[in-house]
A and B are shown apart, each in its own frame.
Chain A
Amino acid sequence: MTGLTVKGMVAGYGADPVLRGLDLAVPDGGLAAVLGPSGCGKTTLLRVIAGLHPLWEGRIELDGRVLAGDGVHVQPERRGIGIVPQEGALFPHLSVAGNVAFGLSREQRRNGRVDELLELVGLAGFGRRMPAELSGGQQQRVSLARALAPGPAMVLLDEPFSSLDAGLRDALRADVRAVLRATGATALLVTHDQEEALGVADLVAVLRDGVVAQLGTPQQVYGTPADLGVALFVGEAVTFPGSCRDGIVDTPLGRLPANGRGSGTVLVRPEQIHLNGGSGIAATVTDVLFHGHDATVLLRLAGGGAVRSRVQGPVPARPGDDVTLTVRGPALFFPGA
């Protein structure tokens, strides 16, 4: 099936385009995340797809139907696209049931669709509450139920988890994923949080300077980034200048396998760098940042330069300790930069 297709999208404010020829495709029933720094046009992208902001150039299609472009502009209420705004944006004057029923016909309301959806998002029995009586996570769940109620072909989620605390965020993320799967709606989520984008979506689009810099599975985007910028944005990295010959780069961390040729930038993920007492590169621990489930160890190399390592479980070193480092797996190499 076709799902969402965006071709050459140009849109913006005043005379300045924020989106400059953006291409994006999300297969039917897929869950895609648009990842980009704050203010890069993510919300504008959602608003243009929803029909709430004019498309200057380009074309938007959903399941083969042209929504905008070629002189067509389908009104937002006729697109069949549900939105879940930041912080839920529930109607404060309506109860939970009233919010979920807002987009339903009289008949659908009577057929128990509201209860069905509240159950789906895990809020059965909450129908009579008012939005102000709900926690942030519950408001987001109601907002999702409200968007899904009329059975939209697509749902747009704008940073839906950013205002929640960490524990709640993980639980809600998994639930939202399950609910979207269950309804079969195509979904597009925008976020500035790499972990969220990589963790929740089937497909990640990295947005930069108004265009999609890379579109791929989370594994592709993280493991084989299109360029150095994408690589740095999707995760922590240690970089060195270096040159690549015959599948090998020379770095202060030793000779590492890599693809490419010529001079450029070598990139290693902190989780590839391991601390052990055996043979390897000599370094001194300068600081340890403890995160609970893992820790980042800041290191100064004996040969000069600083690197960071991500360590699972108990940290085997304290600041001032001398350690040796080994790198597992290949390095990434980006020529030219």
Chain B
Amino acid sequence: MLSAAAALIPLGYLAVRSFEHGAGTVWRVLWRDRTVELAARSLALAGAVTAACLVLGVLAAWLVVRSDLPARRPVAVLLVLPLAVPSYVSGFTWIAEWPVLAGFSGAFLVLTLVSFPYVLLPVAAALRAADPGVEEVARSLGKTSWQTFLVVTLRQVRPAATAGGLLVALYVLSDFGAVSLMRYEAFTMGIYTSYRATFDRTPAAILGCVLVVLAIALTIGERRARGAAAVRSSRGAPRTAAVVPLRRARIPAVLGVLGLITVSLGVPVYSLVRWLVIGSSAGIDMAGLVSAATGTVTVSALGALLTVLMAIPIGILAARHRGPVVRGVELASFAGHALPGITIGLALVFFGIRLAPALYQTTPMLAFAYAVLFLPLAVGAVRTGVSNAPPVLEDVSRSLGKGRAATQLLVTLPLAAPSIVAGAALVFLTCAKELPATLLLRPTEVDTLATELWSKTEGAAFAAAAPYAAVLLVVAALPALLLDRFLHTRGLP
């Protein structure tokens, strides 16, 4: 409860700010043509990117988990790695190579390429956990493997796919880096320009509120679309599904996967390497690089830790109980995710200066901002892990003399641990990539890779920026690798 309340602080700030000049101002800003236009543009982008990510993510997950695609393990790693590419790095490389992409197409391309792993990861996990018996029955009843995929497999992964899709949609709504680089006027751009244009923060706050409402609507929609969770109905030890031979589809599948890896990972890496080569002649500031890397790891690790600690109670509630209060708590934890980092940053600046000056521009404050921003990632992971832990085990623990709290500590959390660790890894790499809130809230003496990268690219020093981008990719790639390992070693019955 407390976690969700904490996540609501920035929302409170937004509401206070919005109504500072009375309800009249709110209506005026809301019904401006531009507001509606911005909302439509953001929603169009979010819809298109989410659809593309669902298709790419589900197909790729099926290929790496269930088909006889060659070199599935390394391919799976390479497909998860685009998560480590910040949207502004990816956007920068694409626009630098192909300026014609500016606008919707560029934003769509970049956001799809950096966020399809949000769908791939949960779907791959669901495919691994799904009961192959149901598919075998479908085949025995005369369905082809393609029909079985459509009728049975897709149903089994639907909850995972919609959860991933929600993350993508929220990410797109709140993204600032890619849309600003691609000069696509989305809602976040609108907030930013209205913030920059005047010293009056009210319109920016009102627009921020609209974004929150959109996010809540999406979250409710996802709950509707999630459908009944795919619970194994049959008993007995779960088996691993047989590998499906691709046969004639093998070559197109290989080409498709290679193409996806090339555009999502190859292009940014190639571009970075080119800049590195250009920049190395000018010499690299090793000391600066090391201190920025240390800064990133420190604040990201703290952010991930705090986020997971806040997510555990919400995730357990969401997995074990139903009812309007629980849904409200879960929704509140999701609200932060749709807010652009800049809004959360400003909200906490306001909050920090007025109410907690001792915390303003300290690492704990930054970690808290990360927690508000990325709580949904961790809540989703905790919820998944806890729902996979059979409640009967908690009953047994209670009957053996352990109270509620001891049971959660000794039974529920260890069973959910792989999932929670995966969530922490995801939050860590997302923190490492985060830019606007970090810029506003970091302690003055701390530089991170993202902030250095930003200050270098602002001065168009691309060659000087490249080493920071490269190290950032590596730092973010490590937890991405962990995520992939988690998918392969998950051996819980």
Chain A residues in contact with chain B, CB under 8 A?
47, 50-52, 75-83, 85-87, 89, 91-93, 102-103, 131-132, 146-147, 149-150, 152, 163
Contact = CB atoms under 8 A, between A and B. Distances in A.
Given A52-B398, A77-B398, A102-B400, A89 B393 contact: yes
Contacts, number: 72
A89 B415 CA distance: 13
Contacts of B259: none
Nearest to B395: A52
Interface string B389-402: 01011011111111
B402 A103 contact: yes
B392 A85 contact: yes
B147 to A, nearest CB: 33
A325 to B, nearest CB: 42
Nearest to B493: A92
Given A89-B390, A92-B415, A103-B401, A50 B395 contact: yes
Interface in B433-487: none
Contacts of B396: 83, 85, 89, 91, 146-147
B414 interface: yes
A329 to B, nearest CB: 41
A60 to B, nearest CB: 14
B410 interface: yes
9 contacts: A50-B395, A51-B398, A76-B398, A77-B403, A89-B393, A92-B492, A92-B493, A102-B402, A132-B237
Nearest to B492: A92
Given A87-B235, A163-B235, A81 B415 contact: no
A75 B410 CA distance: 18
A283 to B, nearest CB: 42
Contacts of A91: 393, 396-397, 411, 415
A144 to B, nearest CB: 12
B281 to A, nearest CB: 54
Nearest to B394: A52
A81 B399 contact: yes
Nearest to A99: B396
The interface size bin for chain B is 20 to 34
A76 B393 contact: no
Given A83-B395, A163-B235, A75 B400 contact: no
A91 B415 CA distance: 9
Nearest to B410: A102
A147 B410 contact: no
B398 A150 contact: no
B128 to A, nearest CB: 16
Q: Which of B390, B393, B396, B417 has the most CB of A within 10 A?
A: B396
Task: Give 8 closest A-B pairs by Cβ, nearest first.
Answer: A103-B400, A76-B398, A83-B399, A89-B392, A93-B414, A77-B401, A85-B392, A52-B395
B401 A132 contact: no
Contacts of A152: 399
A91 B492 CA distance: 10
Contacts of B393: 89, 91
Contacts of B392: 85-86, 89
B385 to A, nearest CB: 12
Given A89-B392, A92-B492, A163-B235, A76 B399 contact: yes
B390 A77 contact: no
Contact of A75 (B403, B411, B493): B403
Contacts of B403: 75, 77
B410 A82 contact: no
Contacts of B397: 91, 102
B399 A147 contact: yes
Contacts of B417: 93
A278 to B, nearest CB: 50
Contacts of A85: 392, 395-396
Contacts of B410: 102
Contacts of A131: 493
A141 B114 CA distance: 51
B390 A82 contact: no
Nearest to B402: A77
Given A103-B399, A132-B491, 7 more contacts: A52-B398, A79-B399, A82-B399, A87-B235, A89-B396, A93-B492, A103-B402
B400 A82 contact: yes
Contacts of B235: 87, 163
Give the most central of B398, B402, B415, B491: most A CB within 10 Å.
Answer: B398
Contacts of B236: 163
Q: In this complex, which of A51, A77, A146 has the most chain B Cβ atoms within 10 angstroms of its Cβ? A: A77
- Which of A47, A76, A149, A163: most chain B CB closer than 10 A? A76
